[in-house]
Structure formats: structure tokens, C-alpha cells
Amino acid sequence: MDIRPIHTKADYKAALKMVSALVDADPKRGTPDGDRLEVLGALLLAYEAKHYPIELPDPIEAIKFRMEQQGLSAKDLQPMIGGLNRVYEVLNRKRPLSLAMVRRLNSSLGISADCLIREAALA
């Protein structure tokens, strides 16, 4: 298995080509090609995390996205945020999320606590 660390953009592109070919071949796990795919995948993830980091989304946008995904209304957020008035204040960026709200949103909607504790963009 001739696999090297990914240091440059050229290394990255070459690794992407190898992974693409391996994915097309669909090797079984535990085979030499399956192992090669697994190792290259890990190397690519590490390189991308360092060179192409993805920022966490704005917490209010994350809540709205999850509401859209699950077909939820503002009323559905009441157990997590409080009264309907408070839900609209949070969604309209008039009130910040409290720690209790963050915990309940994380638990109920599965939104990352790291995302929810970020500063929300101003309206």
C-alpha cells in the first residue's frame, strides 16, 4: 500500500482521484483496496479539516433549518424555549438563547450545543 501524507494541493487532488476510483470499484471492507480506501478517506478528512474548515452555522438559522426539516412550527418550540411570545423573540433575534434553552434544543432537536452557544447575528 503506497499511501503518503497529504501535504500539498497536488497530493490532495491525487488522493481524491484514487478515492474516486476505489469508490467506483466498491471494494469489500478488510480487503487491500478496502483498507486503502479507508486510510485515504481518513487522510482526506484530516487535510480538509485543516485547509477547508466549515464554520458552524448561526444558531437561529440552525433552529429555523431544523424546523423546516422536521415540519415544525413556532408553537412546536414552546417546550424548548418557552411561551410563543418568547419563541418569536428568539427567532427574530430579540432575545438570546439561555443555557436552559440551549440544553432543551440540543436534546429535543439534536442541534449541536457548540452551534447553539455561538453569538447569533444581529437582525
Distance from C-alpha of 74 to C-alpha of 84, rounded to nearest angstrom: 7
pLDDT band at residue 118, thresholds of 50, 70 and 90? Answer: confident
Q: What is the pLDDT of residue 3?
A: 84
Distance from C-alpha of 56 to C-alpha of 99, rounded to nearest angstrom: 18
Q: Is the pLDDT of residue 121 over 70?
A: no
The string of pLDDT tens digits covering residues 47-86 is 999 999 988 899 999 999 999 999 999 999 999 999 999 9
Length of the chain counted residue by residue? 123
pLDDT band at residue 123, thresholds of 50, 70 and 90? Answer: low
Identify the H or E element spanning 35. Answer: helix 32-51
Residue spans of the domains in the chain: they are 9-51, 59-116
Question: Is 91 exposed, middle or buried, given 0-12, 13-18 or 19+ CB atoms closer than 10 A?
Answer: middle
Distance from C-alpha of 47 to C-alpha of 51, rounded to nearest angstrom: 6
**Cα→Cα distances 25→2, 36, 68, 69, Å:** 18, 12, 37, 34
Q: Is the pLDDT of residue 2 over 80?
A: no
For residue 19, which of 9, 3, 7, 30 has the smallest C-alpha distance?
Answer: 3
Q: What is the pLDDT of residue 122?
A: 62
Superfamily of domain 59-116: lambda repressor-like DNA-binding domains (1.10.260.40)
The string of pLDDT tens digits covering residues 93-105 is 999 999 999 999 9
**pTM for the model:** 0.63
Q: How far is CA 59 from the centre of its chain?
A: 12
Q: Which residue has the higher pLDDT, 119 or 29?
A: 29
Query: How many CB atoms are closer than 10 A to CB 101?
Result: 21
Distance from C-alpha of 22 to C-alpha of 26, rounded to nearest angstrom: 6
